[in-house]
Amino acid sequence: MALKIAVVGMGYVGLTTAVCLAKLGNDVVGVDKDARKVKMLKGGKLPIYEPGLYDLFRQVVNSEKLVFEESIPRAIENVGVIFICVGTPSLSDGTADLSQVEEVARTISENLDSYRLIVEKSTVPVNTAKWIRRTIELYSKGRSVEFDVASNPEFLREGRAVEDFFHPDRIVIGVDSERAKKLLLELYSPIDTKVLVVDIPTAELIKHASNSFLALKISFINMIADLCDKTGADVKMVADGMGLDKRIGRAFLDAGLGYGGSCFPKDTKALFRIGESYHLDFGLLKAVDVINQGRVERFIEKVKDALWVLKDKVIAVWGLSFKPDTDDIREAPSIRIVRRLLEEGASLRLFDPKAMENVKRVFPPSGRLLYVNDMYEAVDGANALLIVTEWNEFKTADLRKVASYMKTPVVVDGRNIFEPEEVKKHNIFYYSMGRGKSA
């Protein structure tokens, strides 16, 4: 049976969730207070790039299974389930800013006229559901309307979000009533995967714990990569050897520039602060963040090792998004790298398949910063090529062509996308992250 659903917040998570829930046959209203974004969506355009999303978006909009609204009160008029998918950015101390979640809860309360299931899908600190419930009760002004609050954390990877929605490793549902449990199990019944039904605090904590553990794996292997640079060992082979242990696994053991995006940096800091608020020592997570923050400076050191003086050097940069198959530049290492190179006096030629328009809003084109149309144009006459994001098209680049176009054939590979011996066959001076002696 199709459900009537409102999804509040049309960012990466909310928009993907709304489109995919509509594709399952539900009647969905996507709501966002950003009038410009709603106008774009109503006009048939997506504000983000996500592989496979646009085709589904067109299908569900054309069939009127998905419509858009600016007003939360209008959006929730005739729905039974409300998903909260608004942002929870980090405050200056690392804690999660829950003001948008609170605003949505207040608005729901003021317009609650019959039963609703309110589902927090935004990544929130443990026990946020209690505050959502209290806020709704506080602003209800004595009206006795039944409602439930549930937690249904998202595990959507940018670049694979559609696939992750329909083919997830697991679905986590946190509930404290049979009615809420029944509704969510019905909603996800078309998806064939393990469904874990737990209490609400447990569901909330699963998301933060998962992301923080993956961030820990990334920082650990980057710590090992630095040791490999000093000793001549190969971090890729170390990771392969570790990954063969079933207790460890190979995933998230790729050394490089560290993690970025909207989840890992924010969630790791937030979990550290959560632990601190309960007087628990979560210093391990602080070390994870410190290691990650140091990756860009380590990379800049390699660039200086390769070029000596950066002033007036022409440097090509391949990749600006924080990971491939997305245009998202939130917490992307590229932003800090570009800023550092400009401070050093270098001239830059930047290329990314999807993220250049977003980066232009941070670094407008100038005499020392050009955005180019393809990856080979970027390296034409360059003193060095820096690989910052591991897009597939970079992995299959014609290295002979790259070497012939460059003024000085230097490649500093922040993502270890090439095999050192293969690169050196083309007389390229190659610097990688933790793969033994450079150049």
As annotated, the active-site residues are 263
With beta carbons less than 8 A apart as the criterion, state whether 434 and 224 touch. yes
CA dist 223 and 221 (Å) reads 5
> In the structure encoding, which two tokens stand for residue 44, read together?
């048939």
Using CA atoms, how far residue 76 sits from 6, 7, 70, 381, 421, in Å, is 6, 9, 11, 57, 60
With beta carbons less than 8 A apart as the criterion, state whether 314 and 383 touch. yes
> In the structure encoding, which two tokens stand for residue 121, read together?
């899908």
In the DSSP assignment, the letter for residue 286 is H
Q: Which amino acid is it at 383? A: N
| Angle, in degrees to the nearest 10, between helices 99-110 and 128-139 | 40
The DSSP code sequence of 396-421 is T--HHHHHHH-SS-EEEETT--S-HH
Determine the length of the chain. 439
Segment 176-180 long-range contacts (CB within 8 Å, at least 24 positions apart): 176/148, 176/149, 176/150, 176/200, 177/148, 179/117, 179/148, 180/117, 180/148, 180/149, 180/150
| Angle, in degrees to the nearest 10, between helices 128-139 and 200-231 | 140
> In the structure encoding, which two tokens stand for residue 416, read together?
């270890």
By C-alpha distance, which of 334, 435, 416, 344 is closest to 383?
344
CA dist 157 and 261 (Å) reads 10
Using CA atoms, how far residue 376 sits from 193, 271, 326, 381, 394, in Å, is 43, 42, 21, 10, 10
